[in-house]
A and B are shown apart, each in its own frame.
Chain A
Amino acid sequence: METTLIKSNFKSEEYFINMGPQHPATHGVLRLLLTIDGEIIKKVEPDLGYIHRSIEKMCERDSYQQIVHLTDRMDYLSSHINNEAVCLTVENALQLDIPDRVKVIRTILGELTRIASHTLWWGVMGMDVGALTTYFYGFRDREMINDIFEETCGARLTMNYNIPGGLMFDIHPNFVQRTKDFIKHFKTKLPEYDTLLTGNVIFQKRMKGVGILSKEDAISFGASGPVGRGSGYSCDVRKHHPYSAYDKVTFNEALKTEGDTFARYQVRIQEMWESMAIIEQLIDNIPEGDVQVATNAVIKLPKGEFYQKVETARGELGVYIISTGTKNPYRVKFRSPGFSNLSLLNHIAVGGKIGDLVASMATLDLVIPDIDR
């Protein structure tokens, strides 16, 4: 009698809760408005714009050389690849013949960037789901790559090493040896990632079957990068639309069909192995030659529209430039991978618990400045 009374009075009710903009699991200033019933998520609505700098509007005012330096403030963990995307667009528009040496160096640096980004992601993702140790392992290995970047490019994060027409200057004499040393080191350390976290039963129970995204939905939501490939969707720009030296190397596209957070996790671990394989194929065969093609001091693109897609650590970055033939672009649009990947968060989080949302977000690997361009 008592219990039935209590049961009938016990109402469940939907209410709002704020996650962010200062929540550690949002990795930046992203605010999520959660509608929850108990701990079950009914709706996730992202609130954006906390660090929007309107890079696209700034580009309309700047010269093509200046635009390059704005792009590494978008996805700062893929800064080299972002720079490369703009340079490739401008070079294709001007129909410049880029030396092989530049292409190979760009590819090596791009893959080092990918490993650096994925090690950071791995460390932070472990921390998000409660394994603090991974953070220190990830940052230890990323530090070696940053040192290589520092020596060759002069900067550790926003490298600005690419310019339209080639590279700013040649690689440092130590570059080849240090990259080889890193590969040797990382080949012994990457299996530790698996023994420490991948095989952990608690971790697997936390990740498997959570945040499931089907292949059809992945395509419809415009997912790219490891998020798409974790759902069995072959979307690697390096395979389908090769640029720089990717047509000269052999590598496998990491694909998993489960579509859950654990699949996306495994894709990224696999990608680090593939990146090392790409670097190994190129590092001993960097062609001799120039590192720059002379361009005019004031670059004017011919009238028309130019599009270039590249594969950053997060997925497909598109650069769309409309030129009217002047020294400034008429319109620049950056199709950032994080923007589309964020749009599917509501879809994979609804019906799960708040803890699952944290795990899902960790494997989407969002970088907020990439979304708030």
Chain B
Amino acid sequence: MTNEALQKLINDWIPDLEFSEEESQFLNITVKPENLHQLMSDLKSNKETSFDYLFCLSGVDWQPELGVVYHLESTTHRHIIVVKVKTTDRENPVLDTVCDIWRTAEFHEREVFDFFGIKFNNHPNLKRLFLTDEWEGFPLRKDYEDEINMVIK
């Protein structure tokens, strides 16, 4: 499907979706956190979209928002879409997990939790993946400071 057709189809599913093709080679959708899980499971289960391959899940600190970027591809139709979700709560950011939809998300979400401190509802095993449990702070956040280990230029 082309980006226009995808946008036309998906726009009817859930209210308040923001579409954008600026500054990116893919079609980007920004979704509100409360609608994230519904949109994601529709994107996978709908026969016309069938995004069955989550090939990249990245945490991003946009300052002041924290969020997650999902890169999805369909192995049958070979189209690609990017879904973004943002939250302004930096103290206790919580999003819904998608690891019941794509099992690869389990590890990727643990990595995001480890480095950005974003918690995922209903995640089966949410704990730090790389760092030790007693590590303070979340290193990939832009406001993270570590005077001993970081070389600041």
- A220/B52 in contact, CB under 8 A: yes
Give min CB distance, B105 to chain A, whole Å: 9
A357 to B153, CA, bound (A): 45
Residues of chain A within 8 A (CB-CB) of B54 are 222
Give min CB distance, A330 to chain B, whole Å: 8
B102 contact from A220, A224, A339, Cβ within 8 A: A220
Q: Which residue of A lies closest to B69 (CB)?
A: A320
Residues of chain A within 8 A (CB-CB) of B58 are 320, 331, 333, 335
Counting CB contacts under 8 A, is A155 at the interface?
no
Residues of chain B within 8 A (CB-CB) of A320 are 56, 58, 69, 71
Query: How many residues from B make CB contacts under 8 Å with A?
Result: 33
Counting CB contacts under 8 A, is B19 at the interface?
no
Residues of chain B within 8 A (CB-CB) of A193 are none
A307 to B24, CA, bound (A): 8
A49 to B127, CA, bound (A): 13
Give min CB distance, B11 to chain A, whole Å: 21
A49 contact from B22, B60, B129, Cβ within 8 A: B129
Stretch at the interface among A257-265, A266-274, A298-306: A298-306
Residues of chain B within 8 A (CB-CB) of A57 are 139-140
A93 to B69, CA, bound (A): 19
- B153/A61 in contact, CB under 8 A: yes
A340 contact from B26, B60, B104, B153, Cβ within 8 A: B104
- B23/A305 in contact, CB under 8 A: yes
Residues of chain B within 8 A (CB-CB) of A347 are 103
- B130/A339 in contact, CB under 8 A: no
- A221/B104 in contact, CB under 8 A: yes
Which of B52, B69, B107 is most buried by chain A, counting CB atoms within 10 A of its CB? Answer: B107
Counting CB contacts under 8 A, is B9 at the interface?
no
- B139/A54 in contact, CB under 8 A: yes
A305 contact from B24, B129, B130, B132, Cβ within 8 A: B24
Which of A61, A222, A224, A344 is most buried by chain B, counting CB atoms within 10 A of its CB? Answer: A222
Give min CB distance, B150 to chain A, whole Å: 8
Q: Which chain A residues (237-295) contact chain B, with CB distance < 8 Å? A: 240
Counting CB contacts under 8 A, is B35 at the interface?
no
A135 to B106, CA, bound (A): 35
With A222-B104, A331-B60 as known contacts, state yes or no: A52 contacts B130, CB within 8 Å: yes
A322 to B63, CA, bound (A): 13
Counting CB contacts under 8 A, is B1 at the interface?
no
Residues of chain A within 8 A (CB-CB) of B25 are 306-307
Q: Which residue of A lies closest to B101 (CB)?
A: A220
Residues of chain A within 8 A (CB-CB) of B71 are 307, 318, 320, 335
A344 to B54, CA, bound (A): 14
Interface 1/0 per residue, B54-70 and A, CB below 8 Å: 11101011000000010
The 9 residue pairs across chains A and B that have the minimum distance between CB atoms: A304-B23, A222-B104, A49-B130, A333-B58, A343-B107, A335-B56, A220-B103, A305-B24, A52-B130
Q: Which chain A residues have a beta carbon within 8 Å of chain B's beta carbons? A: 48-49, 52, 54, 56-57, 61, 217, 219-222, 224, 233-235, 240, 302-307, 309, 316, 318, 320, 322, 331, 333, 335, 339-340, 342-344, 347, 372
Q: What are 16 A-B residue pairs whose CB atoms fall within 8 Å in the complex?
A: A49-B131, A54-B140, A57-B140, A61-B153, A219-B52, A222-B102, A303-B23, A304-B24, A305-B24, A305-B82, A318-B71, A320-B69, A320-B71, A333-B58, A339-B108, A340-B104
